[in-house]
Amino acid sequence: MVDAFAYVPAVVLLPFFSFLVALGAGKYLPKGGAFGGIAATAGSFLLSLWIAATVAGGRAYDETLYTWAAGDQFELTFGALVDPLSALMLVIVTLVALLVHVFSLGYMNDEGETGLPRYYAGLGLFTASMLGFVVADNLLMAFMFFELVGLCSYLLIGFHFREPGPPSAAKKAFLVTRFGDYFFLVGVVAVFATFGTAAFAGEGSFPALAEAALAGDQAVWTPGGLDVMTWFTVVGLLVLGGVVGKSAQFPLHTWLPDAMEGPTPVSALIHAATMVAAGVYLVARMYGFYALTPTTLAVIAFIGGFTALFAATMGVVKDELKQVLAYSTISQYGYMMLALGAGGYVAAVFHLTTHAFFKALLFLGAGSVIIAMHHNEDMWDMGGLKARMPVTYYTFLAGSLALAGIFPFAGFWSKDEILYEALVHGLNEPLLLGGYVMGLLAVPVTAFYTFRMVFLTFHGEPRTDLAADPEPVRWNVKGPLTVLGSLAVVTGFINMVPVQKVLGLEGIDYLHRWLDNEWGGIDGLSSHHYADLGPYSSGYIAGGEVPTVLVGAAVSLGLALAGLGLAWRLYNVASPTEHTAKLGGIKDVLYNNYYLDELQVWIAYRTEDIAGGADTFDQGIIDGVVNGVSSVSLAGGSRVRRIQTGLVSQYAAMLTLGLIALLVLIGVNGGWFL
């Protein structure tokens, strides 16, 4: 049979070609090149499935495909690494991309947007970069595509460049993530300097070398003879900078809500399902390195937990549909970070998977609502859409249940596992426990704002004429919604750990076994290996594993239901009203996102002030000196010329004096007068 892995580059290149086609010939093609993109992503999706199947068939793939720079000091290469993790990610990305392309037909074409070739070119390039990032086999390549992903998000967020908002949002998105990427790049360079390679997998890979170095049987370069452990922690944190930026973790999360300026499908694809996932995916990709440094893990966990709670609280008071979803995205990625920090590698990937589906679903649902509402996003103008757009409603509901973590929807399983991991490992780790507590507190908040959103949008009476008579949506909107809706319901079942633990049914934790290379994979990249490397030991409450599982699940589910109930109580009425007043002073803080944007704006302005000062200094002092030299010498010149008085007898006098001076000089020097 043909080797599926031979087509790994094709997976990346197909969308790239669709980018070229849309860019070059888009305006001559029907639908502005949409079909090209659909075909390409569909192709990539099928190939990804095939590749995943091949991996399931017990094989993996790690090849260097192209040498970028063949130095003796370092060899900089591109390659493909296909193991269970990347295979899974490939499927997710291509599927969501495909659905988003289809949905765009409804959202962009049917709405008569202009500049569609640019749009589909952007989508294509984005998909290509993301896939390139997923299959990257070394840190440098990962960084490169990571950056390209950033470029695409810039282009797509700023798609409506004629309006003032989007360009600014795009700038902010790129700039903030660029700030994170700076640390990432330093990390990449540091990895090269330390290990001489940046490969993810294999004997010579840098996680393996790091492991050996810590074991003491491998010498590595460290700056100024720094202790190896400390240095690795530093490197890990540096790379983490990029993660925090891309995955919109505190304090670099501020770009994501603004990024909602982009077209909704873009938000679905980039700011929910895939690009933001890149950060988390990166940590998972090089988890073998992070697992070695407890400090880094603890930091990751704490950032994650904090972000989860922090973002959720802000989501409570937002009035616009997509804003709520934006903050929920940030919060959910906080959970994944918490999981990774807590040593819950599988849990993180699990939540990544489920979240990709239900968040894409929610965004597309929101998109459908926005179409219906003629691009009015304010939830207070909606209401009662349930009856008028049932498909959207039920799929959206499924997504919301998943997001809120209600049994048995996808989100419940993944979130529950995360919290469980955090708990059992956190019992001996105070920092981690803090993360767990915050994650737990975020659960009811999440449930609350999710259903506040649902009720305000779909339930009650229509609060405007628009809502009373929404514009119908077509198959190209409903189709993707249906697919994702069903996925949001079922994805959870790929990894029913609690069930397995409680009922003792072996082997239904498919994802665990998948990521544990049970069907095949690459040594050193298995969840078991990571667990062995990890610093954590499990502790249990209420005596034993099973009770812990049950208690944990029960608590989180209870909290979720509580939040849901509160939302029901406040907003599931005919004509709901603002209750934010009850929050008192906190309300403003939440409305203003804890004034973090203001802080960053302030920093930006101060930087510009410094720049202005530098400019003044440059023009005044440095250039002043340069010009000063010339004016001084010219002044000297006009002094000198005054010697020429025009009076010939004075010439005679000066001539004589000069001669005498010369005589004296030479005479004294030669000692004639002695």
Footprint of other proteins on 624-663 (CB under 8 A)? 626, 630, 633-634, 636-638, 640-649, 651-659, 661-663
- Is residue 375 exposed (0-12), middle (13-18) or buried (19+ Cβ within 10 Å)? exposed
Comparison of 539 and 636: residue with beta carbon closer to other proteins: 636
Cα separation, 348 vs 367, in Å, equals 27
- Is residue 636 exposed (0-12), middle (13-18) or buried (19+ Cβ within 10 Å)? exposed
Answer yes or no whether residue 255 interacts with other proteins by CB under 8 A: no
Strands (E), 219-358: none
Of 146-154, 345-353, 406-414, 512-520, the window that binds other proteins (rule: CB under 8 A) is 146-154
Q: Which of 53, 57, 163, 595 binds other proteins (CB under 8 A)?
A: 163
Shortest Å, Cβ 27 to other proteins:
11
Shortest Å, Cβ 201 to other proteins:
21
Answer yes or no whether residue 190 interacts with other proteins by CB under 8 A: yes
Answer yes or no whether residue 161 interacts with other proteins by CB under 8 A: yes
Hey, which residues between 75 and 134 contact other proteins (CB under 8 A)?
A: 76
Helix 475-490 crosses helix 345-372 at what angle (to 10 degrees)? 150
Tokens for 638, please give them: 């006009």
Cis peptide leading into residue 251 (ω within 30°): yes
Of 31-39, 70-78, 394-402, 441-449, the window that binds other proteins (rule: CB under 8 A) is 70-78
Cβ neighbours of 576 (radius 10 Å): 19
Tokens for 168, please give them: 């600014």
Comparison of 73 and 575: residue with beta carbon closer to other proteins: 73
Q: Which of 175, 331, 347, 535 binds other proteins (CB under 8 A)?
A: 175
Cβ neighbours of 473 (radius 10 Å): 21
Of 316-324, 350-358, 483-491, 666-674, the window that binds other proteins (rule: CB under 8 A) is 666-674
Q: Which of 193, 555, 589, 590 binds other proteins (CB under 8 A)?
A: 193
Tokens for 664, please give them: 């004296």
Rg over CA atoms, the chain: 31
Q: Which 3 state secondary structure label does DSSP give 251?
A: coil
Cα separation, 261 vs 279, in Å, equals 21
- Residues that contact other proteins, how many (by CB under 8 A): 89
Hey, which residues between 221 and 240 contact other proteins (CB under 8 A)?
A: 221, 223
Comparison of 187 and 384: residue with beta carbon closer to other proteins: 187
Hey, which residues between 26 and 55 contact other proteins (CB under 8 A)?
A: none
Comparison of 120 and 287: residue with beta carbon closer to other proteins: 120
Shortest Å, Cβ 202 to other proteins:
20
Shortest Å, Cβ 180 to other proteins:
10
Shortest Å, Cβ 344 to other proteins:
32
Comparison of 554 and 611: residue with beta carbon closer to other proteins: 611
Shortest Å, Cβ 323 to other proteins:
22
Tokens for 29, please give them: 């093609």
Hey, which residues between 586 and 625 contact other proteins (CB under 8 A)?
A: 604, 607-608, 610-612, 614-615, 618, 622-623
Shortest Å, Cβ 117 to other proteins:
11
Cα separation, 330 vs 315, in Å, equals 10
Shortest Å, Cβ 97 to other proteins:
20
Nearest partner of 183 among 275, 271, 252, 254, judged by Cα: 252
Task: Sketch the per residue contact string, 306 through 345, with other proteins: x for CB under 8 A, - otherwise.
Answer: ----------------------------------------
Shortest Å, Cβ 644 to other proteins:
5
Comparison of 101 and 118: residue with beta carbon closer to other proteins: 118
| Eight-state DSSP code of residue 199 | B
Strands (E), 22-119: 61-70, 75-82
Shortest Å, Cβ 620 to other proteins:
11
Cα separation, 17 vs 51, in Å, equals 20
Q: For residue 368, give Cα distances in angstroms to 156, 359, 372, 452, 548.
A: 19, 14, 6, 18, 41
The full DSSP string for 205-221 is SHHHHHHHHHHTSS---
Q: Which of 6, 10, 53, 69 binds other proteins (CB under 8 A)?
A: 69
Nearest partner of 307 among 277, 323, 329, judged by Cα: 329
Cα separation, 237 vs 234, in Å, equals 5
Of 171-179, 378-386, 412-420, 481-489, the window that binds other proteins (rule: CB under 8 A) is 171-179
Hey, which residues between 534 and 553 contact other proteins (CB under 8 A)?
A: none
Q: Which of 59, 63, 167, 596 binds other proteins (CB under 8 A)?
A: 167
Cα separation, 221 vs 231, in Å, equals 10
Cα separation, 511 vs 144, in Å, equals 29
Q: Which of 168, 265, 310, 437 binds other proteins (CB under 8 A)?
A: 168
Q: For residue 270, give Cα distances in angstroms to 59, 200, 329, 434, 522.
A: 30, 25, 11, 30, 29
Strands 61-70 and 75-82 come out as: antiparallel
Query: Do 34 and 104 touch, CB atoms closer than 8 A?
Result: yes
Shortest Å, Cβ 108 to other proteins:
18
Q: For residue 379, give Cα distances in angstroms to 150, 386, 577.
A: 30, 13, 11
Shortest Å, Cβ 80 to other proteins:
17
Q: Which of 1, 73, 215, 225 binds other proteins (CB under 8 A)?
A: 73
Shortest Å, Cβ 51 to other proteins:
24
Which run of H or E residues covers position 383? none
